[in-house]
């Protein structure tokens, strides 16, 4: 029995070594490539390597809203202040139970119009359509029957009049130059079908007319840890995937899409929680199946400021949704997994997301069970294990800090000494605490899956720019 | 052990990167301060009317400007002077242009990013116009073949700033023949920034038009649409003969902006084409808004019954822009086709909202 268990442990050890070396290498590459890319972007901007005239691509900004009466007016106001020539704003109220529509109607002096809506992608019917009278750019509000976020976005696509659309959250603020920057890849390459923007936590940041007036790490520890996590996971990894057209996610909080291509793939999938990832994977699948040259890009300098949850419960809810969305998406497109006909998307991106995102909580659980069994069989080398965990924590911390500082100096944000100290401490705390908590959340994500499948997963909202 | 070693190596490299990042934060801050300081010094220098005419000082300045940071500081100082002291700026600009032109051989050997920066400075201060030279234009044409979009774009900007029709035309030919993609919006907007005789440029472009690829032709035609109303006759001839859908659309749009009685029969013919040509029909419906009359209203009303959404929508929008009255539209508004009825009703409402928005502006 002991021999059998020893052989089993050897196999487990070998597996974890391969698994962790793979993960460490990925993290390492993503942070290094991300840092270099950010450095080059800054150099380009400094060296006046930019587009100077108003070369604008007309875009429709789609803002799905559900019970957003607290934030939606500010969001639309910030959009109206954007430094961009030709765009429209469409807000889709997905049958809110609060006064989301009414606050918009009052704030922007909207009137009801009898707008016919062309159903090119499926969605719940509209109840009423309103247009603003006193705004610089056209603002349309569509009150519709409740159908979920994907359904609302499909409604927005049906109403959008321009060839490109931007999806964003109703609690987010776009930086003043974000539209100009997110359309730049489209001007550079005619095959670009989608561009992901950079999402950053707005907690602790003072933004006026789309410009950052003051940046500091949030006072709320959970939000501050997410600020570091966003820089490492969102920014660095996406820049790496961008290098080989392998991004599988464009955040629902800020992304640009070529409308007719999205219509060709049937729009957003209304039966999934991760509609943003699902759409991007569908675009990969569609373009490759039709031998159509395409690019899905990531614009690290197009910034959207979004609220990060400040309570553990809200964070848990958010990550549960993300994990379930990931599962649904990866499962429904499983034929891409390790499929060489999808190029590096199938062989690298899909494998990474399956092994290190979807299955990681279960693999970690398996590791914990093995440790427990080893203790029971008196086969655990405790000092080595502690050293290994410490090294792993230190390594994670170093990577987070690398991504964080690279981000800071490349976007000209000034940090106080206190924030730098805070970043060091929080990195450790994030590796030791937050990561394990999130692993637990992801492990239990499937509990209540059917019941909450099409919920919006609302989090507590507060007005942006509020002093903490 | 090997694994621990690998992880250790990664951690050491990352620690080095943190140290490098910290170094960068400090270095960039100091470099920005240096550029600001140099910019102030340049401003002071340029304020002296004799500063650039003294050969010794010019030589010293020329040596300094070989560095990209100094060039950036110089550009900053010139721009500040342009907005704060326009007369002093106008006075020293020709000599500054000579100074910058002399730097062409230096920057021609630098990396693409710095070459693009230099081309930007040339464009910004009209160097190709004030101090033209064969070497300068050769440098710009070479940049147009670079893979960097910013090299190509800044080089084209410098050519537009030259005010020279022949150079812009040659530049456009280089771009057109290149395999590297260059967005036609950039061409249209760039041509509109041409700092010279626009009519002469249009004449030269028109002559060269058949030699361009379809995308470039459309970009040039769009530029002509925004640039001049004197090209109706040749545009009509092109509209009659072209087989290219995109070119047809660009020509039609011209006649939307500059109405022409001679073009009207042809526009009507395009508006009555079959469903397979829906894109042309839809644009023709929009263009008809510039041609008021009973016949136009009838044609647009026919468009309201099209199976294509865009044709219906554009026809309705044109009817609302023509301010057709209720009697004229009664058969549609009270008619049996719900699609035609809804879209027309909406566009009439929308026109009112639009007008209120314009009044609010």
Rounded mean pLDDT of chain B?
92
For B292-306, write each residue's pLDDT tens digit.
999 999 999 999 999
Which residue from B216, B257, B218 is spatially nearest to B238, judged by alpha carbons? B218
3-class SS of residue A294: coil
Of A308, A132, A346, A128, which is closest to residue A218 (Cα–Cα)? A308
Pull the structure tokens for residue B295: 């016949």
Instruction: Give the Cα separation of B312 and B301 in Å (integer).
Output: 9
Pairing label, strands A211-214, A206-208: antiparallel
Q: Which of A25, A51, A398 is the closest to B15 by Cβ?
A: A398
C-alpha span between A410 and A413 (Å, rounded): 8
B36 within domain boundaries: no
Residues in chain B closer than 8 A to A39 (CB atoms): 24
Whether this model's ipTM surpasses 0.95 comes out as: no
Same domain, B281 and B351: yes
Looking at the partner chain, which of A187, A189, A402 has a beta carbon nearest the beta carbon of B17? A402
Phi and psi, residue A142, nearest 5°: -115, 115
Interchain contact B186–A (C-beta under 8 A):
yes
pLDDT one-digit tens code per residue, A364-422 = 889 989 999 888 888 888 888 887 788 778 888 888 888 887 777 666 667 788 888 88
Q: What pLDDT score was predicted for residue A468?
A: 42
Residue B249: which domain range?
Answer: 174-259
Whether A54 has its CB under 8 Å from any CB of chain B: the answer is yes
pLDDT recorded at residue A467: 43
Contact between B112 and B118 under an 8 Å Cβ cutoff? The reply is no
Residues B214 and B290 in one domain: no
Residues B282-292 have a mean pLDDT of 97
Give tens-digit pLDDT for B16-26.
Answer: 877 877 787 78
Q: A25-66, pLDDT tens digit by residue? A: 888 888 889 888 888 888 898 999 988 776 678 999 999 999
Same domain as B190, residue B156: no
What is the C-alpha to C-alpha distance for residues A451 and A454, in angstroms, rounded to an integer? 8
Cβ–Cβ under 8 Å, residues A111 and A56: no
Q: pLDDT for B194-220, tens place per residue?
A: 999 999 999 999 999 999 999 999 999
| B10 closest CB neighbour out of A114, A134, A395 | A395
Residue with tokens 């490299």: B13
A21 touches chain B (CB under 8 A): yes
More confident residue, A71 or A277: A277
Using CA atoms, how far apart are residues B109 and B97, in angstroms rounded to an integer?
A: 20
Phi, psi at A131, each rounded to 5°: -130, 145
Grade residue A466 by pLDDT with cuts at 50, 70 and 90. very low
d(CA A49, CA A142): 40
Name the residue with tokens 């500082």: A405
> Which of B116, B157, B343 has the CB atom closest to A49's CB atom?
B116
Interface test with B, best of A17, A25, A48 (most B CBs within 10 A): A48
User: What is each CA distance from B3 to A18, A24, A36, A355, in whole angstroms?
Assistant: 9, 10, 26, 20
Contact with chain A for residue B12, Cβ under 8 A: no
Helix (H, G, I), strand (E, B) or coil at A166: strand
- Same-domain pairing of B183 and B143: no
Q: Is residue B247 part of a domain?
A: yes
Beta-carbon count within 10 A of A10 CB: 10
Alpha-carbon distance of A397 to A430, in angstroms, equals 8
Domain boundary among B211, B230, B259: B259
Residues B168-178 pLDDT 10s: 999 999 999 99
Q: Which two tokens stand for residue A182?
A: 């997110």
* Interchain proximity A409–B68, CB inside 8 Å: no
B343 in a domain, yes or no? Answer: yes
CATH code for position B341: 1.25.10
Number of domains in chain B: 3
Q: Which residues of chain A have a CB within 8 Å of the CB of B107?
A: none
Is the Cβ–Cβ distance between A40 and A143 less than 8 Å?
A: no
Q: Are residues B255 and B273 in the same domain?
A: no
- Judge if B131 and B148 occupy the same domain: yes
Element housing A213 (H / E): strand A211-214
pLDDT at B50 over 90: no
Say how far apart CA B353 and CA A15 lie, in whole Å. Answer: 66
Residues of B in contact with A48 (CB under 8 A): 72, 75, 116-117, 120-121, 154
Decide if A49 touches B, using CB distance below 8 A: yes
Reported as type and span, the H/E element at residue A149 is helix A149-159
Task: State the DSSP code for B147.
Answer: S
Looking at the fold, whether B359 and B273 belong to one and the same domain comes out as yes
Q: Give long-range contacts, CB 8 A cutoff, 24+ apart: B33-40.
A: B34/B69, B34/B73, B35/B69, B35/B72, B35/B73, B35/B76, B36/B73, B36/B76, B38/B69, B38/B70, B38/B73, B38/B74, B39/B73, B39/B74, B39/B76, B39/B77, B39/B80, B40/B77
Contact B150 A44 (CB under 8 A): yes
**Which of these, A373, A313, A315, lies nearest to A2 by C-alpha position?**
A373
Per the domain annotation, does B232 fall within a domain?
yes
Confirm whether B322 is domain-assigned.
Answer: yes
Could you tell me if B120 lies within 8 Å of chain A, comparing CB atoms? yes
Same domain, residue pair B81 and B119: yes
| pLDDT reported for residue A460 | 59
- In the structure, what pLDDT confidence band is assigned to residue A112 with cuts at 50, 70 and 90? very high
What's the rounded Cα separation, in Å, for the pair A194 and A268? 14
Instruction: Please name the residue of chain B whose CA is at the shortest distance from the CA of residue A118.
Output: B309
Domain boundary among B259, B281, B298: B259
pLDDT confidence band for A233 (50 / 70 / 90): confident
Q: Give helix then strand counts, H and E, for chain A.
A: 16, 12
Domain end: B202, B233, B259, which one? B259
**pLDDT at residue A448, rounded to an integer:** 66
pLDDT digits 0-9 by tens, B57-70: 888 899 999 999 99
Same domain assignment for residues B116 and B158: yes
Instruction: Tell whether B87 and B102 lie within a shared domain.
Output: yes
Q: Is residue B24 part of a domain?
A: no
Tokens 């009801």 appear where? A112
Residues in chain B closer than 8 A to A49 (CB atoms): 113, 116-117, 120, 148, 150, 154
Q: Are residues B208 and B179 in the same domain?
A: yes
* Burial of A7: CB neighbours in 10 Å, binned 0-12, 13-18, 19+: exposed
Domain-embedded: residue B44 = no
* B303 in any annotated domain: yes
Residue bearing tokens 């070369």: A55
For β-strands A59-65 and A87-93, DSSP reports them as: parallel
Which contacts of A115-118 are long-range, i.e. CB under 8 A and separated by 24 or more positions?
Answer: A115/A140, A115/A159, A115/B346, A115/B350, A116/B339, A116/B342, A116/B343, A116/B346, A117/A142, A117/A155, A117/A158, A117/A159, A118/A158, A118/B309
Average confidence (pLDDT) over A268-293? 94
């Amino acid at each position: 029995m002991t021999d059998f268990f020893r052989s089993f442990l050897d196999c487990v050890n070998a597996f974890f070594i391969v698994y962790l070396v793979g993960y460490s290498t990925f993290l390492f590459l993503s942070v290094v490539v991300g840092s270099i890319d950010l450095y080059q972007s800054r150099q380009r901007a400094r060296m006046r390597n930019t587009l100077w005239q108003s070369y604008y691509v007309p875009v429709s900004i789609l803002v799905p809203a559900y019970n957003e009466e607290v934030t939606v007016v500010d969001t639309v106001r910030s959009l109206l202040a954007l430094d961009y020539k030709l765009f429209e704003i469409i807000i889709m109220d997905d049958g809110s139970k609060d006064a989301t529509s009414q606050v918009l109607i009052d704030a922007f002096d909207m009137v009801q119009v009898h707008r016919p809506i062309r159903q090119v992608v499926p969605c719940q019917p509209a109840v009423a359509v309103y247009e603003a009278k006193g705004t610089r750019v056209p603002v349309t509000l569509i009150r519709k029957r409740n159908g979920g976020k994907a359904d609302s976005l499909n409604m927005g696509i049906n109403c959008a009049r321009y060839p490109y659309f931007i999806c964003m959250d109703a609690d987010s603020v776009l930086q003043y130059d974000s539209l100009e920057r997110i359309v730049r890849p489209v001007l550079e390459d005619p095959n670009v079908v989608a561009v992901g923007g950079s999402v950053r936590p707005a907690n602790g940041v003072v933004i006026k007319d789309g410009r950052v007036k003051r940046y500091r790490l949030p006072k709320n520890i959970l939000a501050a840890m997410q600020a570091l996590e966003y820089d490492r996971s969102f920014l660095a990894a996406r820049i790496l995937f961008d290098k080989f057209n392998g991004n599988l996610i464009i955040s629902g909080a800020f992304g640009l899409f070529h409308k007719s291509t999205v219509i060709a793939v049937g729009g957003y999938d209304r039966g999934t929680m991760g509609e943003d990832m699902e759409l991007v994977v569908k675009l990969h699948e569609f373009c490759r199946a039709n031998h159509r040259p395409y690019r899905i890009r990531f614009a690290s300098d197009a910034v959207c400021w979004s609220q990060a949850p400040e309570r553990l419960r809200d964070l848990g809810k958010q990550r549960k949704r993300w994990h379930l969305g990931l599962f649904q998406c990866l499962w429904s497109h499983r034929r891409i997994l390790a499929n060489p006909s999808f190029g590096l998307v199938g062989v690298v991106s899909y494998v990474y997301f399956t092994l290190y995102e979807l299955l990681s909580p279960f693999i970690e659980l398996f590791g914990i069970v093995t440790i427990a069994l080893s203790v029971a069989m008196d086969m655990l080398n405790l000092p080595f294990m502690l050293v290994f965990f410490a090294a792993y924590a230190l390594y994670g911390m170093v990577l987070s800090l690398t991504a964080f500082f690279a981000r800071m100096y490349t976007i000209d944000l000034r940090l106080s000494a206190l924030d730098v100290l805070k970043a060091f401490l929080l990195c450790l705390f994030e590796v030791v605490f937050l990561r394990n908590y999130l692993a637990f959340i992801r492990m239990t994500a499937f509990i209540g899956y059917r019941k909450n499948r099409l919920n919006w997963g609302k989090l507590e909202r507060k007005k942006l720019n509020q002093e903490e | 052990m090997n694994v621990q070693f690998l992880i250790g190596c990664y951690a050491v490299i990352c620690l080095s990167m943190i140290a490098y990042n910290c170094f960068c934060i400090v270095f960039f801050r100091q470099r920005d301060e240096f550029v600001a300081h140099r910019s102030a010094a340049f401003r002071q220098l340029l304020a002296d009317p004799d500063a650039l005419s003294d050969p010794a000082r010019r030589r010293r300045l020329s040596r300094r400007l070989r560095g990209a940071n100094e060039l950036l500081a110089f550009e900053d100082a010139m721009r500040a002077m342009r907005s704060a002291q326009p007369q002093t700026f106008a006075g020293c600009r020709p000599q500054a242009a000579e100074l910058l032109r002399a730097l062409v051989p230096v920057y021609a050997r630098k990396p693409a990013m710095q070459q693009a920066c230099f081309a930007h400075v040339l464009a910004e201060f009209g160097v190709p116009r004030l101090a033209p030279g064969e070497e300068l234009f050769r440098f710009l044409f070479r940049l147009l073949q670079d893979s960097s979009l910013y090299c190509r774009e800044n080089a084209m900007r410098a050519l537009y700033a030259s005010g020279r029709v022949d150079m812009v035309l040659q530049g456009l030919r280089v771009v057109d023949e290149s395999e590297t993609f260059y967005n036609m919006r950039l061409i249209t907007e760039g041509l509109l920034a041409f700092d010279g005789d626009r009519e002469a440029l249009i004449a030269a472009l028109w002559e060269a038009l058949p030699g361009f690829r379809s995308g470039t032709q459309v970009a040039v035609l769009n530029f002509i649409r925004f640039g001049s109303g004197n090209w109706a006759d040749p545009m009509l001839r092109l509209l009659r003969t072209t087989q290219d859908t995109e070119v047809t659309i660009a020509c039609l749009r011209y006649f939307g902006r500059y109405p022409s009685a001679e073009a009207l029969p042809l526009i009507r013919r395009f508006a009555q084409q079959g469903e397979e040509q829906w894109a042309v029909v839809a644009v023709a419906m929009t263009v008809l808004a510039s041609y008021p009359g009973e016949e136009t209203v009838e044609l647009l009303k026919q468009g309201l019954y099209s199976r294509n959404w865009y044709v219906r929508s554009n026809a309705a929008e044109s009817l609302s822009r023509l301010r057709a009255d209720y009697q004229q539209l009664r058969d549609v508004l009270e008619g049996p086709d719900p699609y035609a009825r809804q879209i027309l009703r909406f566009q009439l409402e929308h026109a009112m909202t639009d007008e209120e928005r314009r009044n609010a502006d």
